[in-house]
């Protein structure tokens, strides 16, 4: 956790940006170096800045919609209880895998690659052909199994309309497609027998609920994982993309919600570079867009992130800290397709160490002069600016030592003129601060549960691989 303050600085910059960078004034080409006029213009800019801020933050506070978040959390609750933590489902899944394996035993051809590896027989396991429907039985936790057009799980659950538990009210659907690669898994206690697993690059999915007897996709999407051309593993890099859509119908007391989430990560492990992108659109309104570029020279970060180093008890902050352990990061956050915060952090290793020292001395009642020294060093490693797309204006920012209660903090200031820097804290008027508290209060539980949803989805993705590991030992760790 000690390495997280730099990330928190960036988060504070973004969050405060949402509450202060929301108005910009147009540039005046008349540069007459009149100090009185410059000061007057700077004061007007500040007034517009704060006025626009209040309007935007109030708009966000009054129009929050977490219907999709709540629905995702409900799906996760049922999925975790009736699937991930359900031994009956696990047994059903394993028995289906064995049934599929038993029907696909083939002889290895002489002179083939498998023959050269010492195998006599192999089992062709193409995950795109794993098409079974698991239907939860009435009042029980085990499942009926039948062949289907895709991999499906049908669950019983609570119907908010009838306020009763009903059979077959939720459904999970998954299909694998796209380019593939193969993975050889020797079968334990079966000398000379291998499982050849065909892994496809694309996974289509849908989370559906039954409405008036008809299935409705509340969530749907496509997740892709691709390797560099000619590669058989991710040692040189990878590209992962996800497109997730929600279509939550309006009900009594609920407004309904349509969202689109686009995510992508591209890793070049040869050169130690990586990029990441994410955007969130809600009901036709682009809410947030994130982009990140990092260069690590094989020092860590996204391009060399090894998920095997984390256990089920690892926190999301440990993962973020590992991502930050790279050489440099350039990132941009855009709110409402208009207002952006851009920051650039160099020499991340030094920055993380410096940040840890800064927080330690700060908690020991360091003097203003001491914090000043850290502020200067941080400014050398972190550059930030705020932009307004509507007026084509960019406002530089810098850290400045600022008294906060009995302590001194390094807080960002916005530059309105050569002599006029205004602290972010000074811009948080009482109304704006109240709106920010409203947003935090309404979103906190949903955000927390959202992290749990991601963790549970990862656990489910690992479940199948875990069962394969119990059958054999993979020769391909990637």
Given this model, what pLDDT does residue 455 score? 61
How sure is the predictor about 40, in pLDDT bands with cuts at 50, 70 and 90?
confident
SS3 content of the chain, % helix, strand, coil (to 5): 35, 40, 25
Give the pLDDT score at 294. Answer: 82
Contacts 24+ apart (CB under 8 A), 5-12: 5/355, 5/356, 5/358, 5/359, 6/324, 6/345, 6/348, 6/351, 6/352, 6/355, 6/382, 7/317, 7/320, 7/321, 7/324, 9/355, 9/382, 9/410, 10/331, 10/343, 10/345, 12/412
Q: What's the CA gap between 369 and 408, in Å, rounded?
A: 10
Q: What is the pLDDT of residues 404-440, one digit of tens each?
A: 888 999 988 888 777 778 787 777 777 788 888 888 8
Three-class secondary structure of residue 77 per DSSP? helix
Q: What pLDDT does residue 30 have? A: 46
Q: Tell me, what's the pLDDT at 316?
A: 45
| Pairwise CA distance, residues 183 & 207, whole Å | 29
Task: Give the integer Cα–Cα distance in Å for 185 and 124.
Answer: 11
Q: Of 11 and 126, which is predicted with more confidence?
A: 126
Cβ neighbours of 213 (radius 10 Å): 5
Judged by average pLDDT, the poorest of 39-43, 143-147, 304-308, 309-313 is: 309-313
Q: Which residues pair with 394 in a beta bridge?
A: 387
308-314: long-range pairs with CB below 8 Å, 24+: 312/459
pLDDT digits (tens, 9 = 90+) for 87-121: 777 777 777 777 777 777 889 998 898 889 889 98
Q: Which of 227, 219, 183 is nearest to 201 (CA)?
A: 227
Coil vs helix vs strand at 61: helix
Highest mean pLDDT among 190-194, 395-399, 465-469: 395-399
Tell me the CB-side half-sphere exposure of residue 449, using CA atoms within 13 A. 17
C-alpha 177/C-alpha 204 separation (Å) is 8
CA distance 183 to 419: 63
Mean pLDDT of 263-270: 86
**In whole angstroms, what is the distance from residue 298 CA to residue 295 CA?**
8
Q: Give the model confidence (pLDDT) of 306-330 as tens digits.
A: 555 545 444 444 555 555 555 788 8
pLDDT (mean) for 233-241 = 85
Euclidean distance between CA atoms 200 and 203, whole angstroms: 8
Specify the DSSP class assigned to residue 80. Answer: I
How much is the average pLDDT of 53-70? 79
Other CB atoms within 10 Å distance of the CB of residue 166: 13
Read off the pLDDT of each residue in 224-243 and give the average, rounded to a whole number: 85
| Cα gap 296→235, rounded to integer Å | 15
Query: What global pTM score does this model have?
Result: 0.74
What integer pLDDT is reported at residue 25 of this predicted model? Answer: 37
Q: What is the mean pLDDT of residues 49-77?
A: 77
Name the band, by pLDDT with cuts 50, 70 and 90, for residue 206: very high
User: Do residues 416 and 46 lie in contact, with contact meaning Cβ atoms separated by under 8 Å?
Assistant: yes
Domain range summary for the chain, segments of one domain joined by +? 2-26+35-104+229-471
């Amino acid at each position: 956790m000690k390495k997280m303050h730099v990330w928190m600085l960036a988060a504070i910059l973004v969050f405060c940006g949402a509450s202060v960078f929301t108005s910009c004034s147009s540039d005046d080409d008349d540069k007459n170096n009149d100090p009185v006029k410059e000061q007057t213009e700077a004061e007007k800019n500040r007034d517009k800045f704060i006025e626009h801020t209040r309007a935007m933050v109030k708009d966000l506070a009054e129009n929050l919609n977490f219907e999709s978040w709540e629905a995702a959390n409900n799906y996760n609750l049922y999925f975790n209880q009736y699937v991930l933590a359900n031994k009956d489902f696990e047994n059903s899944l394993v028995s289906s895998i064995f049934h599929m394996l038993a029907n696909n035993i083939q002889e290895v051809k002489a002179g083939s690659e498998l023959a050269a590896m010492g195998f006599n027989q192999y089992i062709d396991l193409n995950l795109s052909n794993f098409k079974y429907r698991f239907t939860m039985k009435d009042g029980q936790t085990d499942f009926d199994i039948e062949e289907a057009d895709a991999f499906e799980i049908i669950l019983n659950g609570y119907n908010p309309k009838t306020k009763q538990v009903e059979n077959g009210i939720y459904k999970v659907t998954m299909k694998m497609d796209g380019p593939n690669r193969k993975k050889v898994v020797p079968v334990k206690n079966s000398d000379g027998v291998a499982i050849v697993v065909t892994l496809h690059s694309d996974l289509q999915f849908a989370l559906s609920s039954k409405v008036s007897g008809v299935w409705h996709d509340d969530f749907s999407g496509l997740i892709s994982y691709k390797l560099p051309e000619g590669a058989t593993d991710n040692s040189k890099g990878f590209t992962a993309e996800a497109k997730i859509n929600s279509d939550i119908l309006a009900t009594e007391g609920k407004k309904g919600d349509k969202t689109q989430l686009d995510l992508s990560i591209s890793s070049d492990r040869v050169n130690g570079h990586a990029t990441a992108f994410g955007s969130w659109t809600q009901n036709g309104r682009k809410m947030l867009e994130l982009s990140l570029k990092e260069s690590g020279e094989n020092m860590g970060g996204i391009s060399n992130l090894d998920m095997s180093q984390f256990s089920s008890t690892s926190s999301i902050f440990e993962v973020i800290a590992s991502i930050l352990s790279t050489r440099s990061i350039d990132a941009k956050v855009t709110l409402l397709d208009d207002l952006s915060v851009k920051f650039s952090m160099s020499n991340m290793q030094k920055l993380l160490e410096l940040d840890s020292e800064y927080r330690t001395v700060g908690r020991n009642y360091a003097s203003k002069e001491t914090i000043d020294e850290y502020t200067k060093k941080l400014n050398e490693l972190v550059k930030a600016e705020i932009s307004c797309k509507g007026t084509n204006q960019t406002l530089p920012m810098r850290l400045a030592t600022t008294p906060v209660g009995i302590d001194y903090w390094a807080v960002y200031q916005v530059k309105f003129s050569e002599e006029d820097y205004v602290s972010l804290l000074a811009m948080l008027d009482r109304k704006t601060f109240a709106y920010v508290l409203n947003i935090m209060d309404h979103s906190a539980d949903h955000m927390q549960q959202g992290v749990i949803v991601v963790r549970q989805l990862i656990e489910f993705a690992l479940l199948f691989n875990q069962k394969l590991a119990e059958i054999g030992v993979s020769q391909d760790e990637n």
